[in-house]
Chains A and B, each alone.
Chain A
Amino acid sequence: MFEVRFHGRGGQGAVMAAQTLAEAAVIEGNYAVAFPFFGAERRGAPVLAFTRIDAKKIYSKTQVYAPDCVVVLDDSLLDTIDVVAGLKPQGTVVINSKEKPEDIDLGKEIRTASVNATSVALEILKAPITNTAILGSFAKATGIIKIESLEEAIKSRFGEKLGEKVGERNALAARTAYENTVIGKSRGIKKLEPRKQWLPTYQEMPVGGVLVEGITEAGLIGPGSFIENKVYGWATFRPVRDREKCTMCLLCWFYCPEGTIVRISDKGDLMTNYDYCKGCGVCANECPVDAIKMVRARV
């Protein structure tokens, strides 16, 4: 059995990638399952998805804890998540990064394939949705699946949902990434502290799960604790407002799902707190006078 864990962010299509890989495996006569782990999902939040491939029916219904391959759709995740946790010693990491494997520090020297899937996606799909590109890289790095099977699965899955053209463009993204994948070994220097979690026993849990402001060894809990949850690392784009054009209609302030656009005073100016801006572009989309432009936050 071959097990894959996908790390991505809400909106990048990690779940679709896992499903498409499963479909490609089935096309080759194998059995495969793919499933997401749904946390408190929203656009930009870290998400997990899994694929299992085997020659015979797979009965296991648990998550994957010792994957043969880890696919990382967004290298900004490396700062906060130990993506190689549980990875088998002979396993492979497939990562969307502009860096070569030798320059990527995973805290472990391990077989790594890298590709700049964001650039591939922006170029071919005109959107930073990297799920199909990274699958091409997966095919190259693991040899578990033929690129032709992947192309067929992508055309079928994406074509069905989004039209034949989109299917073909996504297949091309996979092929392009396949051809541009660099395989090497990651660096193993940094020590990633496992993220502290507040895990009370049932006796310690506040009665009824009702939370007041509090501090635990894992940080703040209860009302106001979100202040610790900075999301700037999620952003591919960030909004820049043209003060000349802005009419102060406040639509962007109203619609921002992160509440990160702040009214400095009742009459006065608006300020975007980039610490909490996930770069979703909702503000730019809502602005009636096109005063907000989204600019690339990182490459």
Chain B
Amino acid sequence: MKKVITGDHAVAIGAKLSRAEVVPAYPITPQTLIIEHIADFVNDGEMDAKFLTMESEHSVMSAATAASAAGARVFTATSSQGLAFMHEMLYATAPLRLPIVMVNANRTLGGPPGIWCEHNDSMGARDSGWLQVYVEDNQEALDMVIQSYRIAEDKRVLLPVMPCIDGFVLTHTVEPVDVPQQQDVDSFLPPYMPDITLDPAKPALFNTLMLPEYIMELRRQTAGAFESAKKVISEINDEFAKKFGRDYGGMIDTYRMEDAEVALITIGTVTSTSREVVDELRKEGEKVGIVKLRFFRPFPAEDLKRVLSGVGAIGVFDRSISYHGGGHVFNEVCSALYGITKPIINHLAGIGGRDVTKEVIIKMFDLTLKAAKGEKVKEINWHNTRGETV
């Protein structure tokens, strides 16, 4: 059934279709609509969930962790300062291997205060033990909530997942979304059946003090789950594609990469605009393509190596700055492609919510094409930034 809805609405429907049982929440722009829609669903009896209004995001993640440990399927959503406020609890959830799904509406992390799209908020949580997937439209946002539960609850993974959606660009934009049927989602996503839960009748110790004799093995175990997640993500993507007819590619997606001489690695909604730019540049005879980075954790190092083997230069778009010089994606791509001698050019744009226009994306391709031809190009480029030349 097609519905013309916002990204936030799509995410809320995704949580409802996934039959989330506990939703602790604290509102924050631009995530607020998600919480409001879920509150309505629960109030109207459309969704059989315990909706908990908490006093802070720190408490939200505490409640989410406890509810998940008790065996419930848990959903929540946050953004920016809210994600920062629950930072401590993010680190408690993941090593416990609790399959919570939390949508982050990407927003500037102050200071300076700002409510518009930027990836600095979720990038700061990249090493908290959560899987992260970035989406490009409202359909993918809804679908990834459902897929995220399958990934998170898979016994080979058992890790929390954070689907990231660009603030305002998706959260407050309406577009047509094909809403899956409940019975189809039910057959795709069976109920959550954990082996051990918080149960007074069968006591268990969760998150107890661990001496140095144990923590290294626990960390190694968690790292192993991230490795296994790569295969699981791809399997579940294929299963979803078969059932619902939408194939997102798994860890990454590619667009017109077959004979591309230059690739731009994109993340979030800029992928979407870049598809049109690629079509236009292709018409002009430029052999360009896109590699859409979907999962940032685990990082798709092997996939990138495979799809980028034929190109002459790689452009990397970042909507966040890591203060080592470039952005987070650039950092990881360089690390993943270590040993490859082709130029890797970082394109910083859209930070603080500045619109990433087609002109800016064309400029990214231009610079990367120049680098492919052996011309000298700066490694790190601040696009559309006063005082900078690109």
Q: Which residues of A contact B (CB under 8 A)?
A: 39-40, 197, 199-203, 205, 207-213, 222-224
Task: Report Cα–Cα, A212/B224, bound state, in Å.
Answer: 22
- Tell me whether B204 and A202 are in contact (CB under 8 A): no
Which one of B96, B204, B217, B218 contacts A223 once the chains associate, using CB atoms below 8 Å? Answer: B204
Contacts of A222 in B (CB 8 A): 203-205
Contacts of A203 in B (CB 8 A): 221
- Tell me whether B211 and A205 are in contact (CB under 8 A): no
Which one of B203, B204, B207, B217 contacts A200 once the chains associate, using CB atoms below 8 Å? Answer: B217
Task: Give, as a whole number of angstroms, the nearest-CB distance from A116 to chain B.
Answer: 33
Nearest A residue (CB) for B218: A209
Contacts of B220 in A (CB 8 A): 202
Task: Report Cα–Cα, A208/B152, bound state, in Å.
Answer: 14
- Tell me whether B210 and A210 are in contact (CB under 8 A): no
- Tell me whether B221 and A207 are in contact (CB under 8 A): yes
Contacts of B211 in A (CB 8 A): 39-40
Contacts of A209 in B (CB 8 A): 95-96, 207-208, 210, 214, 218
Does B196 lie at the interface of the complex (its beta carbon under 8 Å from any beta carbon of A)? Answer: yes
- Tell me whether B202 and A210 are in contact (CB under 8 A): no
- Tell me whether B217 and A208 are in contact (CB under 8 A): no
Task: Give, as a whole number of angstroms, the nearest-CB distance from A56 to chain B.
Answer: 29
Task: Give, as a whole number of angstroms, the nearest-CB distance from B66 to chain A.
Answer: 13
- Tell me whether A202 and B218 are in contact (CB under 8 A): yes
What total of A-B pairs shows CB separation below 8 Å?
58
Contacting A at CB under 8 A, from B204-238, are 204-211, 213-214, 217-218, 220-221, 224
Contacts of A39 in B (CB 8 A): 211
Nearest B residue (CB) for A204: B217
The interface residues of chain B, by DSSP majority, are classed as loop
Nearest A residue (CB) for B158: A207
Contacts of B210 in A (CB 8 A): 209
Task: Report Cα–Cα, A200/B224, bound state, in Å.
Answer: 15
- Tell me whether B205 and A197 are in contact (CB under 8 A): no
Task: Give, as a whole number of angstroms, the nearest-CB distance from B100 to chain A.
Answer: 13
- Tell me whether B97 and A208 are in contact (CB under 8 A): yes
- Tell me whether B206 and A210 are in contact (CB under 8 A): yes
- Tell me whether A210 and B204 are in contact (CB under 8 A): yes
Does B98 lie at the interface of the complex (its beta carbon under 8 Å from any beta carbon of A)? Answer: yes
Interface hub of A201, A209, A211 (most chain B Cβ within 10 A): A209
Interface hub of B98, B195, B205 (most chain A Cβ within 10 A): B205
- Tell me whether A208 and B158 are in contact (CB under 8 A): yes
- Tell me whether A210 and B214 are in contact (CB under 8 A): no
Contacts of B202 in A (CB 8 A): 212
- Tell me whether B208 and A208 are in contact (CB under 8 A): no
Nearest A residue (CB) for B199: A212
Task: Give, as a whole number of angstroms, the nearest-CB distance from A35 to chain B.
Answer: 14
Task: Give, as a whole number of angstroms, the nearest-CB distance from B222 to chain A.
Answer: 8
Task: Give, as a whole number of angstroms, the nearest-CB distance from A215 to chain B.
Answer: 15
Task: Report Cα–Cα, A205/B196, bound state, in Å.
Answer: 14
Contacts of B206 in A (CB 8 A): 208, 210
Task: Give, as a whole number of angstroms, the nearest-CB distance from B231 to chain A.
Answer: 17
Which one of B195, B207, B208, B214 contacts A205 once the chains associate, using CB atoms below 8 Å? Answer: B214
Which one of A40, A199, A201, A212 contacts B196 once the chains associate, using CB atoms below 8 Å? Answer: A212
Contacts of A213 in B (CB 8 A): 203
Task: Report Cα–Cα, A210/B68, bound state, in Å.
Answer: 13
The 26 sampled A-B contact pairs (Cβ below 8 Å) are: A39-B211, A40-B209, A40-B211, A200-B214, A201-B217, A202-B217, A202-B224, A203-B221, A205-B214, A205-B217, A205-B218, A205-B221, A207-B158, A208-B218, A209-B210, A209-B218, A210-B96, A210-B204, A211-B204, A211-B208, A212-B203, A212-B205, A213-B203, A222-B203, A223-B203, A223-B205
